[in-house]
């Protein structure tokens, strides 16, 4: 019997284990990190591989749009685009690799970041890189469960090199090494491309970020050092076999970027034009996209064709072509963006210096017809839009940049990038991961936008 004056003891019902797991799967990564301390059973469940995979799958369907602000101590002194101050770290790519991102600072040091947990792995400095003709990306090897960072330097005048780092390998943060398929090659020279002459005349530019799709990292490379309307090459690196191959691409006309100019330069997929508007006028620079970019949409490799400067496609601005058959080299146009003349006049996507990148299709994946789905777009003006093909309209969903009154010239230095990215909760943890040390992903701002 209960003692007088004391409440009767109540029995707290015990939830079934499977129900507890379902509740935990709905929690963010930082909360789960704290709840590991509740009891040994919860710790074992949260750290199990099956739970992490289920949590990641659920999180991938609830990704959110985020904005990475510029570092507070960014340098104000204009620099060549391959030289930037050490505070101007940037996130490579607009999509995470199973929740984690690769970031790079101006000194060429890479770090792997998980914004869900605030964890950062600072990778060893890769020395001897060409300051301009190199690019890096991160991918996941599903066969081994490893995350690999791949740095590619392709410069025919100096030789081609590739370095791979398996994050957390051998109980440490990892070391740079040659690809497994070419480990015997002196100086890590790329010797695993099917055609020995395939690398002749190929250049990869710094900050032309690779795209991960179908277990491979893909780069779009130039075939000329100084002419930018020549055919491009898609270079593909298998994360499992660690070997290269070239992929055929759609037969786009060189006239896509064939415009009257005096000289050309390029940076991050943009062409810098130096010309004269009228005889005797002052020379001026106009920055505009180079016309082709690689993206991943619905798990497949796509190439974006920029036709904003063509006069034979009506109001069409962009086309998205999907690789259907890697071996046969067949592509099909998945999506196109055309705006009414009234909308186009607002110059949301038509400013000549603007780089526009598709991020993802919105809505149910059950709708297999991509052409009928809404598309999320981000730009180097730090704006995000949703294009609706049904109404041929453009909805502004985020504006985090400054747009000048003069829409004809870029308000941003060439060292600026797309700063919107997809955020995905993830429990990925690496050996050597630090927390609370500060990184480029610590100041992410979430955009109130449903991607489902």
Across the chain, what does the average pLDDT equal? Answer: 75
What Cα–Cα distance (Å) separates residue 45 from each residue in 23, 49, 434? 12, 9, 23
Of the listed ranges 148-162, 216-230, 420-434, the least confidently predicted one is 216-230
For residue 1, tell me if it sits in a domain.
Answer: no
pLDDT at 261 (0 to 100): 39
**Residues forming beta bridges with residue 166, ordered by sequence position:** 148
Asked if residue 219 and residue 122 are part of one domain, the reply reads: yes
For residue 324, tell me if it sits in a domain.
Answer: yes
For residue 8, tell me if it sits in a domain.
Answer: no
Look up the domain containing 126 and give its range.
70-247+425-447
Residue 42: strand, helix, or coil? helix
Q: Please tell me the total count of domains within the chain.
A: 3
Asked if residue 339 and residue 202 are part of one domain, the reply reads: no
Left, alpha or beta for 271 (phi > 0: left; psi -120 to 50: alpha)? beta
Asked if residue 327 and residue 279 are part of one domain, the reply reads: yes
Asked if residue 432 and residue 412 are part of one domain, the reply reads: no
Asked if residue 405 and residue 269 are part of one domain, the reply reads: yes
Asked if residue 388 and residue 306 are part of one domain, the reply reads: yes
For residue 452, tell me if it sits in a domain.
Answer: no
Per-residue pLDDT tens over the stretch 308-351: 766 666 678 889 999 998 878 789 999 999 877 777 667 778 77
Asked if residue 156 and residue 289 are part of one domain, the reply reads: no
Q: DSSP assignment, residue 177?
A: B
C-alpha span between 447 and 421 (Å, rounded) = 10
First to last CA, the chain: 56
Burial class (CB in 10 A: 0-12, 13-18, 19+), 436: exposed
**Residues forming beta bridges with residue 265, ordered by sequence position:** 272
For residue 6, tell me if it sits in a domain.
Answer: no
Extended beta strands in 59-215, E state: 64-67, 90-97, 100-104, 110-114, 119-122, 134-141, 146-153, 161-166, 211-213
- pTM score of the predicted model: 0.82
Asked if residue 213 and residue 117 are part of one domain, the reply reads: yes
Angle at CA of residue 419, ends 417 and 422, nearest 5°: 135
C-alpha span between 339 and 356 (Å, rounded) = 14
Asked if residue 55 and residue 122 are part of one domain, the reply reads: no
Asked if residue 159 and residue 53 are part of one domain, the reply reads: no
For residue 4, tell me if it sits in a domain.
Answer: no
Asked if residue 406 and residue 272 are part of one domain, the reply reads: yes
For residue 398, tell me if it sits in a domain.
Answer: yes
Per-residue pLDDT tens over the stretch 279-300: 444 444 444 455 678 999 999 9
Asked if residue 206 and residue 80 are part of one domain, the reply reads: yes
For residue 2, tell me if it sits in a domain.
Answer: no
Please list, in sequence order, all residues whose beta carbon lies within 8 angstroms of the beta carbon of residue 151, skipping any fewer than 6 positions away.
110, 126, 129, 134, 135, 136, 162, 163, 164, 165, 176
């Amino acid at each position: 019997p209960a003692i007088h004056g004391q409440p009767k003891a109540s029995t707290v019902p015990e939830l079934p284990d499977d129900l507890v797991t379902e509740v935990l799967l709905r929690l963010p990564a930082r909360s789960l990190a704290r709840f590991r301390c509740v009891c040994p059973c919860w710790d074992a469940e949260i750290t199990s591989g099956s739970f992490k995979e289920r949590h990641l799958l659920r999180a991938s369907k609830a990704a959110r749009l985020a904005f990475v602000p510029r570092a507070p101590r960014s340098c104000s002194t204009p620099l060549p685009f391959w030289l930037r101050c050490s505070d101007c770290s940037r996130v490579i790519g607009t999509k995470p690799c199973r929740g984690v991102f690769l970031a790079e600072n101006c000194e060429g040091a890479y770090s792997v970041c998980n914004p869900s947990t605030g964890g950062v792995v600072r990778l060893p400095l890769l020395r001897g890189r060409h300051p301009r003709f190199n690019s890096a990306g991160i991918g996941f090897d599903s066969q081994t469960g490893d995350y690999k960072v791949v740095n590619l330097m392709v410069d025919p005048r100096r030789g081609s090199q590739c370095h791979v780092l398996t994050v957390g390998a051998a109980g440490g943060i990892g070391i740079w090494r040659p690809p497994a398929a070419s480990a015997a090659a002196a100086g890590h020279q790329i010797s695993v491309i099917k055609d020995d002459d395939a690398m002749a005349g190929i250049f990869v530019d710094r900050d032309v970020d690779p795209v991960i799709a179908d277990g491979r990292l893909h780069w779009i490379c130039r075939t000329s050092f100084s002419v930018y309307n020549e055919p491009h090459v898609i270079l593909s690196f298998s994360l499992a076999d660690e070997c290269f191959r070239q992929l055929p691409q759609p037969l786009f006309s060189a006239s896509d970027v064939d415009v009257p100019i005096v000289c050309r330069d390029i940076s991050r997929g943009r062409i810098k034009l130096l010309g004269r508007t009228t005889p005797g006028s002052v020379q001026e620079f106009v920055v505009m996209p180079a016309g082709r970019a690689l993206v991943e949409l619905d798990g497949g490799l796509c190439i974006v064709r920029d036709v904003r400067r063509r006069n034979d496609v009506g109001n069409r601005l962009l086309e998205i072509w999907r690789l259907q058959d890697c071996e046969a080299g067949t592509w099909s146009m998945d999506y196109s963006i055309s705006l009414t003349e009234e909308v186009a006049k607002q110059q949301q996507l038509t400013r000549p210096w603007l780089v526009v990148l598709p991020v993802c299709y919105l809505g149910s994946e059950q709708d297999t017809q991509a052409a009928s789905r809404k598309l999320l777009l981000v730009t180097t003006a730090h704006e995000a839009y949703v294009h609706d093909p049904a109404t041929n309209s453009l909805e502004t969903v985020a504006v985090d940049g400054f747009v000048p009154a003069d829409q004809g010239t870029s308000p941003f230095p060439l060292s600026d990038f797309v700063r919107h990215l997809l955020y995905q909760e993830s429990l990925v943890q690496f050996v050597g991961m630090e927390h609370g040390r500060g990184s480029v992903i610590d100041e992410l701002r979430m955009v109130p936008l449903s991607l489902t």
